[in-house]
Structure 1
C-alpha cells in the first residue's frame, strides 16, 4: 500500500500545490492549508502548524510543511520538535524566483515590492485591508513610501492578473516589472514530498535544514540568509531604500516584461 502523505501549507500556495498534485496524479498526497492572512499575524503561524501536525498524526506516514520561514518566529523549532521538514527559503518570493535569482533581483534594486499571483489577486484584502490602509489612506506613504519598483513574480500566464498587478503598481506610484517565475522550487518540493525516498532518491536540497529528526542540520538552508537580507533591505521601517537613486531621474516607467533568465 502506498504511503499517505500530508502537506501542510500556507493558503496562498494552495492553487499552485493543487495544480502539481493534479498534473502528476499524486492522489496519495493530501493538502491542508492555514489561512493566508496569518502572514499579517506571523506570531500565530508556528502554533497553527503545530496543531495541524498533531491533528494529522496517525493518519499519515509522512508530513511536510510548505511554509518558508516567513518571519514566523518559532516555526523551525516546532518543526524540529515534530520531525517535519519544510521547503527551504525565507519567503515564497525566494522559492518562486529561485533563491540566488531573488538575491540578484533584490541587490539590483533594494527598494522593490514583490507580488505573486496570489497577492496580485488578493492585494486589497490581504495587504491594504489588513494594514488598515483602505480606511486610512494617509498610511500609504508610511507603508510604501520607501519603494521604487514593483516586481510581479508570475506563476501563470494570466493577462487579467498581470493587469491587476500593473494597477497595484500604478496605485502605489511604482515602476512595474513582470517576471515569469512559474512554480520555481515549490513544484520540486511537492514532488519530493510525494515520492520521499522512493527509487533511492535522497535529494534534500529543497528542504530546510536543522538539527533533530530527519537529519537536518542547524541553521538556514543554502541561500536563505542572503535572501532574507535582500528582502529586509527594502522593508526596514523608516529606511529610505531609494537613497542610492536620489541622483537618478525617478521616471515611473513600465519596465519590459522578462523571464527569470533575463531574456
Structure 2
C-alpha cells in the first residue's frame, strides 16, 4: 500500500524516536517516524551509512525525507550524506543539544569537564546500552578504562509525568552508582526537540 501524498518520513535516531513521535502527534504533522537502532550510538562510524540506506529506501515512497539525527559523533560524515542526498537533519552535535540546548550543554561541560550526560532513553537502557555493550557486566574492572576521567552524571529529564519521573530517578541513581559517580538532575522537557523538529519542518509548523 502506498503512502498518502504529502507525508514526510523522519529517519530518526532510535534514542529520540519516541519523543519525536510524541511531538509529531501533538502537532498533528503528516510525518511518519522511522527509527534506526539506538545502539548505533555505540558505533557512530556506522550512523551515516545506516541513515543513507534508509533515506534511499524511503525517498520513493514519501514526498520528502528528513533526518532526525544531530551529528552524533560522525564528525561530519552524516552531513556529507545529507548534502549528497539533499536532505536536512536536526541541528546540533548530539541529542543532548536537542533537549537541553547547546548553550546549556556547553556550560555543563565547561563548569565540570568530566560530565557524563544521560537522557531519559539512556536512563532506561543504561544496563543494556552501557553496562552490557561495554562489557562491564562481565569485566567490572574495565570501569576505570571508560570512566576514569568523569566526575559526575547529569540526567537531563524530559518526562513531565511525576510517576515516570520517580521511576526513572531510581534508575538514574542506579546507573550513577554503577559507574561510581554522583548524580545531578536537570529538567529540560521535550520542548527543545519539538522546536528543532519544527525548524526542520517549517512548512508543517
Pairwise same-fold verdict (TM > 0.5): yes
Larger RCO: 1 or 2 (CA < 8 Å, sep 6+): 1
Other structure's SS at 2:15 match? helix
Other structure's SS at 2:91 match? coil
CA contact (8 A) 1:115 1:152 kept: yes
Equivalent of 1:197 in 189, 199, 203: 203
Equivalent of 1:66 in 62, 68, 92: 68
Aligned mates of 1:192, 1:42 — CA distance in 2? 24
Aligned mates of 2:72, 2:181 — CA distance in 1? 24
2:101 aligned partner: 98
Q: Spell out, residue by residue over 1:141-184, the C-alpha distance to the aligned partner (whole angstroms, 9 max, x if none).
A: 11112111110001114110011101111222212111011124
How many residues of Structure 1 are paired with residues of Structure 2 in the alignment? 197
Aligned mates of 1:102, 1:71 — CA distance in 2? 15
Larger Rg, first or second structure (1 or 2): 1
Other structure's SS at 2:16 match? helix
How well do the aligned residues superpose, as a CA RMSD in angstroms?
1.6
1:226 aligned partner: none
Equivalent of 1:145 in 120, 143, 148: 148
Name the TM-score, length of structure 2 as normaliser: 0.90
Other structure's SS at 1:131 match? coil
Aligned mates of 1:193, 1:4 — CA distance in 2? 14
Other structure's SS at 1:152 match? strand
Q: Which runs of 4+ in 1 moved over 3 A?
A: none
CA contact (8 A) 1:98 1:184 kept: no
Unaligned runs of 5+ in 2: none
2:183 aligned partner: 176
Q: CA offset at residue 119 of structure 1?
A: 0.5
1:30 lines up with 2:37 in the alignment: no
2:130 aligned partner: 127
Name the TM-score, length of structure 1 as normaliser: 0.71
Q: Spell out, residue by residue over 1:223-257, the C-alpha distance to the aligned partner (whole angstroms, 9 max, x if none).
A: xxxxxxxxxxxxxxxxxxxxxxxxxxxxxxxxxxx
Other structure's SS at 1:85 match? coil
